[in-house]
């Protein structure tokens, strides 16, 4: 079977770009065949009504350009923190927002949302991990027919973040009632910053994940270089080939047949906050050749 490399980026979704139409057209312009978007501003709870998002035209544009809607994804809002066992209202807000997000995505026709598991904010870490599972269970109990799956993102360990190690992710997954609905999204920068040696030993890291969690649970990849040395626990994304992970490793991930048919999403920073890097980065990765397109100061590769 001829399997496909699915490579895209995080794209905008706003009124100026006619909402989802703009998301699709931006991805196509970048040479992408998958994409990821927020359904609203990630730091607040305000959401535009789905009937204004141009869903039917969005779906038509995707189909006309051979982009499978079943292979694109949404990023959940940062305001969701199911790991917070200290403030009940924060946990309850997270449950409500996650439920609303799943309802919105079902209407849009997108079946996967990547979720930051949250932070313990001083609470017991094990209780926080169990709280993540509890919140997800509550959402699916209230939405028993939802087709939208959740991929928990691997985190860097900044502050009191949870799901930093594969063992922590395993604990959450073991306590999910509808196990078929919850998987994992690798973030290469986060894993590197968490201490996993993906630059020199990526195959070993994958083997460890498979042993602890299972490769069948890997549903998405965020492909980012890192501004920090391994184990820094900082979470600072860098453009492809300019960070401590380097182009060679990131390119090998894209072309590894294990990850074919898994959406791979770039979340690298815009150059000087003004120039979108994704078209050039996608081109480089597909062609397996690094080019110094952005003339950034340091290349660690």
Q: Which residue has tokens 């690298």? A: 268
Give which of 170, 43, 59, 163 is closest to 108, Cα–Cα. 59
C-alpha of 207 from chain center: 21
Tell me if 267 is assigned to a ligand binding site: yes
Backbone angles phi, psi at 171, to 5 degrees: -60, -40
> Three-class SS of residue 236?
coil
Tell me if 187 is assigned to a ligand binding site: yes
Tell me if 237 is assigned to a ligand binding site: yes
Give which of 264, 197, 198, 269 is closest to 227, Cα–Cα. 269
Check if the beta carbon of residue 245 is closer than 8 Å to that of residue 237: no
* Euclidean distance between the first and the last CA atom of the chain, given in angstroms as a whole number: 34
Tell me if 192 is assigned to a ligand binding site: no
Tell me if 10 is assigned to a ligand binding site: no
DSSP 297: S
- Binding-site residues from annotation: 75, 116, 153, 187, 190, 222, 235, 237, 267
From the annotation, which residues make up the binding site for Zn(2+)?
A: 75, 116, 153, 187, 190, 222, 235, 237, 267
């Amino acid at each position: 079977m001829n399997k496909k490399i699915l490579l895209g980026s995080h794209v905008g979704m706003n009124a100026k770009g006619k909402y989802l139409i703009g998301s699709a057209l931006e991805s196509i312009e970048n040479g992408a065949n998958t994409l990821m978007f927020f359904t609203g501003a990630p730091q607040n709870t305000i959401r535009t009504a789905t009937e204004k998002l141009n869903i039917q035209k969005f779906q038509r544009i995707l189909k006309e350009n051979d982009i499978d809607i079943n292979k694109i994804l949404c990023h959940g809002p940062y305001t969701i923190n199911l790991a917070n066992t200290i403030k009940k209202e924060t946990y309850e807000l997270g449950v409500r927002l996650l439920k609303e997000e799943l309802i919105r995505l079902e209407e849009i026709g997108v079946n996967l949302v990547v979720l930051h598991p949250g932070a313990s904010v001083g609470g017991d870490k094990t209780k926080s991990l169990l709280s993540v599972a509890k919140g997800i269970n509550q959402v699916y109990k209230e939405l028993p027919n939802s087709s939208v799956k959740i991929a928990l993102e691997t985190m860097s360990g900044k502050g009191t973040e949870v799901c930093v190690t594969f063992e922590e992710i395993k604990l959450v997954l073991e306590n999910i009632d509808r196990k078929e609905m919850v998987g994992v999204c690798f973030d290469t920068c986060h894993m590197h910053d968490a201490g996993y040696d993906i630059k020199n030993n990526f195959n070993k890291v994958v083997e460890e994940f498979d042993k602890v969690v299972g490769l069948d649970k890997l549903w998405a990849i965020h492909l980012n270089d890192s501004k920090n040395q391994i184990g820094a626990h900082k979470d600072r994304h860098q453009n492809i080939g300019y960070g401590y992970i380097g182009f060679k490793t990131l390119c090998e991930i894209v072309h590894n047949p294990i990850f074919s048919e898994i959406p791979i999403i770039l979340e690298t920073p815009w150059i000087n906050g003004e120039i979108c890097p994704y078209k050039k980065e996608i081109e480089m990765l597909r062609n397996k050749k690094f080019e110094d397109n952005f003339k950034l100061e340091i290349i660690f590769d």
